[in-house]
Structure 1
Amino acid sequence: MAARHSRKINSGSRGVVSSVGAGFISLDGQIHTPRSLVIPAMELIQILQGVATVLVALLAGSMLFFSFVMAPLIFIKLDIDVAGKFVRAVFPWYYLLILILAAVGALTLVAFAPLNAGLMALIAASTAYCRQYLMPRINEYRDRSRAGEAGTTEIFDKLHRRSEVLNGLQLLAVMAVLLHLAFVQFS
């Protein structure tokens, strides 16, 4: 027979049999829950820490791989015009992946590591800014610069530098979160 975890509720009334999650409320007001379904808070924190570590590691790996392997290879191996078109096609997906991993990572961290959750939320927010605002402007000014419009090359360079700085800051933040998760035992 399965062990039961129970506690008394509303001891003044008789109660009715009613389902509550995976347990039930008996006529005497007891809530009965199978002990195997009760997850202690400490175990939940450990599960969340494991999930968060995997998400943050995936985020760091994705950012490092794209920044230091894919982007340079694209421009080394492909003609400059083809490389530019390819990068334009890839960047929205890159930013979407970063946004999702950072946002879900922030949600898993908020219960036990609020500072890390805040850093991940900042990564997600700055990625949304890059994807929705900065990237379209970079593309626009790149096109205008290639068409020979005066003053647009400087604007393109400024916007492109901003995206590089943001990407570098995001990478530093995600590495800080990953190192913190790897070396700190949360309780």
Structure 2
Amino acid sequence: MQAIVGGFGLASVYIKMRKDEGGVAERLGLFAFSLSFLLSSTVEALPIYLQERRVLMKESSRGAYNISSYMIANTIVFLPFLFAVAMLFAIPVYWIVGLNPSIAAFAFFAFVVWLIVLMASSLVLFLSAVSPDFISGNSLICTVLGAFFLFSGYFIPKENIPKYWLFMYYVSLYRVRIIPRACLQEMIS
């Protein structure tokens, strides 16, 4: 439900997005907010992971299975669910906003959204493993995501980040990675 409401809500804001070069800032805003929404939308999985952790520790201490088996199984089980969430978000955003009406460009966009949601879910799983309880885990996740967003390059250019914080730019999940120019042009034109 969150993906559907978020997708339609975001699409309604950017429905009149300009298609010319003047709309580049609007497209960057769309993509930045999409990243923020998608990464923060997986925080609700924290209580599930915290609850499963008790069972995992008990079972792994008895030698029933190891932690890597749990991680692989968890990822495989969540792949279709996260794909559905990605599609529920991507379909309204992509088509209502009026990004490139090509099926290939939409498939690329949906694939990137799916990878973002999968990555965010993995981050929540990792942070829940090092958190003693829900309140600490929620605080840790919010702090990490906030720091990643701050050092992504959207607010402070890489050149202006103090040297001792520069590593955060490179590990930020929000940072725009190098996307082949042809793929980016295909998606936004």
TM-score, normalized by length of structure 1? 0.31
Structure possessing the higher relative contact order (Cα contacts under 8 Å, 6 or more residues apart): 2
Larger Rg: 1
Q: Which has the higher helix share?
A: 2
